[in-house]
Amino acid sequence: MSEEPESRVRIAFLIGSLEIGGAERQLVRLVNSLDPTRYEPLVICWHGRPVLAAELNPNVQFQHLQLGRVGARSSAVFKPVRAAALLWRLTRRLNAFRPRVLHAWLPAAYIAAAYAGRLAGVPVVMGARRGLVSYRTYPRLIWPFAELANRLLRVQVCNSEAVRRWALEQERLDPDRAVVIPNGVDLVTPSEPVPGRPPRAAMLANFHRYKGHALLVEALRRCSGLPAGFQVVLYGDGKERPRVEELARDAGVLDHLVFAGLQKDAGSRLDEFDFTLLCSTEEGFPNAVLESMAAGVPVVATAVGGVTELLRDQVDGLLVPSGDAGALAAAIDWMLAHPEERRRQGMAARERVAREFTFAAMVSAHEDIYDRLLGRRRGAAAMAES
């Protein structure tokens, strides 16, 4: 059965929270960019402070279910009563909205959506995988429900080939039900260099251990000679921040770090920097790298996950092995010593984004999947045939 041409398609988007984060920003941008003459979106979250809800367009409906976290990654904590409340409230909201598509982002959301969507009779329920995260990193009580959820979802959209491979290997997904749509970004006009200004770098990452702030501190300690006034501005917050500050003080590099905190507009300010840094031990398809490239700013990044699908070593920036403080220090030294070469790398990065990773392409790919699933009703295998 095909879509009635005179009606808009109702799509519900589910995510745990709308606090500041890469996946959350991509979701808000996608929802805001859907063709309003063809789609009627609703965004639902259930915990945290919905900071990014203020950025939703007026035509986008929003609801906060007012629950806390159901479970925590890498934790034995699971709250069955809260999970039951989430399922109940979500099903009721879906019954009221009656969407034809339910698109849930991140594991906790698409596990809940698989069941609530079935109870509410939603024709198409799909997931969005945004990182190298398996349900096996969550409490074991969740695993049987997650395995069944994977079978109930019509398709799972991964934001990189690395994320898709991870999901196939870790959870034995049906390959025909796992597709790739890379993140997208808008191009930024690069700023002109400021004569006489000391070089500056930026790192956009909340203070989680896997983001590698401690590795950056050790790398700065090992650099051959940081120029006077050189600073790395750290955008983000989290429970690891006090430990990182203490490490920087002990290493004697605190003067080279600026703890800027969580700032909503940090991604739009990257053109003010000479290069950016990503020091993670794992990444799906990092928006921080994509935003830096779009601004014409080269990146020094660890070669993990989907980073290598974005960044070409010595073309768009420099790739270093994960956990190697010496290699990271050498890359920082090179960036500081070669201003003309790093500017050329930044321009090459921007040109690549313009060819392959525009936001318009990302939105169009999602609209295509929604339409195909609704029109054919044969799952992701039908998409592969066309």
Domain 200-356 part of CATH 3.40.50.2000: yes
Q: Once rounded to an integer, what is the mean pLDDT over residues 204-225? A: 95
Q: Is the pLDDT assigned to residue 11 strictly greater than 60?
A: yes
Q: Once rounded to an integer, what is the mean pLDDT over residues 32-57? A: 95
Q: Is the pLDDT assigned to residue 379 strictly greater than 70?
A: no
CB 317 within 8 A of CB 301: yes
Q: Is the pLDDT assigned to residue 5 strictly greater than 80?
A: no
Q: Once rounded to an integer, what is the mean pLDDT over residues 313-330? A: 97
Give 54: exposed, middle or buried? Use CB within 10 Å, 0-12, 13-18, 19+.
exposed
CATH classification (class only), 9-184+359-385: alpha beta
Domains of the chain: which residue ranges? Answer: 9-184+359-385, 200-356
- 200-356 and 9-184+359-385 share a CATH fold: yes
Neighbour count for residue 225 (Cβ, 10 Å): 9
Q: Once rounded to an integer, what is the mean pLDDT over residues 158-175? A: 92
pLDDT for res 77 = 53
pLDDT for res 214 = 97
The 3 state secondary structure assigned to the chain is CCCCCCCCEEEEEEECCCCCCHHHHHHHHHHHHCCCCCEEEEEEECCCCCHHHHHCCCCCEEEECCCCCCECCCCCCECHHHHHHHHHHHHHHHHHHCCCEEEEECHHHHHHHHHHHHHHCCCEEEEEECCCCCHHHCCHHHHHHHHHHHHHCCEEEECCHHHHHHHHHHHCCCHHHEEECCCCECCCCCCCCCCCCCCEEEEECCCCHHHCHHHHHHHHHHCCCCCCCCEEEEECCCCCHHHHHHHHHHHCCHHHEEEEECCCCHHHHHHHCCEEEECCCCCCCCHHHHHHHHCCCCEEEECCCCHHHHCCECCCEEEECCCCHHHHHHHHHHHHHCHHHHHHHHHHHHHHHHHHCEHHHHHHHHHHHHHHHHHHCCCHHHHHHC
Q: Which of the residue ranges 64-78, 260-274, 287-301 has the most confident prediction, judged by mean pLDDT? A: 287-301
pLDDT for res 78 = 62
For residue range 178-209, list pLDDT tens digits in order.
999 999 999 988 888 778 899 999 999 999 99
Q: Is the pLDDT assigned to residue 35 strictly greater than 60?
A: yes
Share of the chain above pLDDT 70, in %: 94
Q: Is the pLDDT assigned to residue 377 strictly greater than 80?
A: no
How confident is the prediction for the chain on average, in pLDDT? 90
Q: pTM value?
A: 0.85
For residue range 249-286, list pLDDT tens digits in order.
999 999 999 999 988 788 889 999 999 999 999 998 99
Q: How confident is the model at residue 83 (pLDDT cuts 50, 70, 90)?
A: confident
pLDDT for res 189 = 86
Type of residue at 190: P
pLDDT for res 266 = 86
